[in-house]
Amino acid sequence: MKIDLARRNPIPRLARARVLWPLNEGEQVHDSDQHYLGAHIDADTESDRLQLLEGCRDPGTIRRLDRLGVSRGWRCLEVGAGHGSIARWLAERVGPTGSVVAADLDPRFLTDMPAGVDVRRLDIRHDDLEADSYDLVHCRALLMHLPDPIAALARMVAALRPGGLLLAEEGDYGLWSYGGHADAQQLNTLITRMLTRLAEAKIANPWFGRRLPDLTLASGLELRGSEVETRVVRPGEADYEFEWASLLATVPAMIKLGIYGEADANLIRALSGHLNSVITTVSIVAVWGQKPS
Ligand SMILES: C[S@@+](CC[C@H](N)C(=O)[O-])C[C@H]1O[C@@H](n2cnc3c(N)ncnc32)[C@H](O)[C@@H]1O
């Protein structure tokens, strides 16, 4: 039997992301904010999701920052600071003789920061930073959301003082997989298609993590180390809840983009409560490098 490929894929191909992010009437979103998917999630949901992310990934990040020797007096920059947990940890670690800049395109969750943390609205796609200034620059799950991660990386490297350290930690969905339910394969196919469409529309690169070692080298840094973190998780574990929080929170945006239809949204909602399931999470590729003195 001949398979009609056109009929097997009823979702239209995406046009450019800019065209597909219509603002609702009266919505006050800065034009350049629109690119980031999280900007289309309501504030309470996004706040919860970012805190879940911190709960899952902070232990690994802090272990790496500790290993890099972050200590009293260091000048640190956190780009895409999210809900601010790492900026808070850095402030505590560097003490009153150090300084921390917590920068984000959308700094609405960077509240109640300790004294000495300078919260900045910054768009790393366009805004320059102080040259040769920081002992440490850190980002996590940021570059994968940018249309030109190489330019953003170059800005962060330029902000490092000679001898300064960059720790970049980015996601890679290469191993992502859901199992434990009869419809698991249907969900995996849907998620792969969704990630592919986001990549095609240049909204995000879900497989960016694997590029990080090479891009760090190409940025002129001396590569000092790297790690990849993936987990296999069950309901009730923080990573499992984060994966589902992200899938559910982005359903309205995916419908708006034409990536999900109603049946897809229903499948996601139905499987989200299933208790006998297992997820292999997004991997975090962490790379650290040093600016030559
Ligand atoms: C997935 S969240 C990660 C938050 C935090 N780094 C973490 O791992 O907990 C991505 C963050 O990057 C920020 N972001 C996205 N595009 C940005 C840009 N162009 N410049 C600066 N920050 C940006 C978002 O507002 C969001 O806070």
45-61 burial: b if 16+ Cβ within 10 Å, else e: ebebbbbbbbebbeeeb
Q: Which of 32, 41, 142 to mutate to test the pocket of ligand 1 (most atoms within 8 A of CB)?
A: 142
Residue 268, C-beta contacts closer than 8 angstroms, at least 6 positions apart: 187, 190, 247, 248, 251, 260
Two tokens, residue 95: 């003490």
Long-range contacts of the stretch 118-125 (C-beta < 8 A, 24+): 119/81, 122/79, 123/32, 124/79, 124/80, 124/152, 124/155, 124/156, 125/32, 125/35, 125/151, 125/152
- Cβ of 248: how many Cβ atoms within 10 Å? 16
If you compute the radius of gyration of the chain from its CA atoms, what whole number of angstroms results? 20
Q: Which of 45, 145, 148, 285 to mutate to test the pocket of ligand 1 (most atoms within 8 A of CB)?
A: 145
Two tokens, residue 208: 């960016």
- For the chain, the structural domain boundaries read 29-290
pLDDT at residue 4, rounded to an integer: 39
Long-range contacts of the stretch 219-222 (C-beta < 8 A, 24+): 219/150, 219/153, 219/154, 219/157, 219/289, 220/157, 220/291, 220/292, 221/157, 221/166, 221/289, 221/290, 221/291, 221/292, 222/289, 222/290, 222/291, 222/292
pTM above 0.85, yes or no: yes
DSSP-derived secondary structure for 31-59: GGGTTSGGGGS-HHHHHHHHHHHHHHHHH
pLDDT at residue 33, rounded to an integer: 55
Q: Which residues line ligand 1 (CB under 6 A)?
A: 36, 38, 50, 53-54, 79-80, 82, 104-106, 122-125, 140-142, 145-146
Cα 104 to ligand 1 centre (Å): 6
157: amino acid identity, one letter: V
* Share of the chain residues as helix, strand and coil, in percent rounded to the nearest 5: 45, 20, 35
- Per-residue pLDDT tens listing for the chain (293 residues): 343 333 333 333 333 333 333 333 333 334 445 578 888 888 999 999 999 999 999 999 999 999 999 999 999 999 999 999 999 999 999 999 999 999 999 999 999 999 889 999 999 999 989 999 999 999 999 999 999 999 999 999 999 999 999 999 999 999 999 999 999 999 999 999 999 999 999 999 999 999 999 999 999 999 999 999 999 999 999 999 999 999 999 999 999 999 999 999 999 999 998 999 999 999 999 999 999 99
According to DSSP, residue 108 is labeled: G
Could you tell me if 53 and 59 are in contact, meaning their C-beta atoms sit under 8 angstroms apart?
Answer: no
* 29-290: CATH number: 3.40.50.150
pLDDT at residue 36, rounded to an integer: 85
Q: Residue 286 belongs to what H/E stretch? A: strand 283-290
Question: What interhelical angle do 262-272 and 238-249 show, nearest 10?
Answer: 160
Residue 61 alpha carbon, nearest atom of ligand 1 = 8
Q: Residues 207, 213, 215, 221: is their CA dihedral positive or negative?
A: positive
- Phi, psi at 193, each rounded to 5°: -65, -40
Could you tell me if 223 and 217 are in contact, meaning their C-beta atoms sit under 8 angstroms apart?
Answer: yes
Rounded Cα distance between 145 and 141, Å, is 7
pLDDT at residue 116, rounded to an integer: 85
pLDDT at residue 139, rounded to an integer: 99
Q: Where on the phi/psi map is residue 9: left (φ > 0), alpha (ψ -120 to 50), or beta?
A: beta
- Phi, psi at 31, each rounded to 5°: -50, -45
Cα 144 to ligand 1 centre (Å): 10
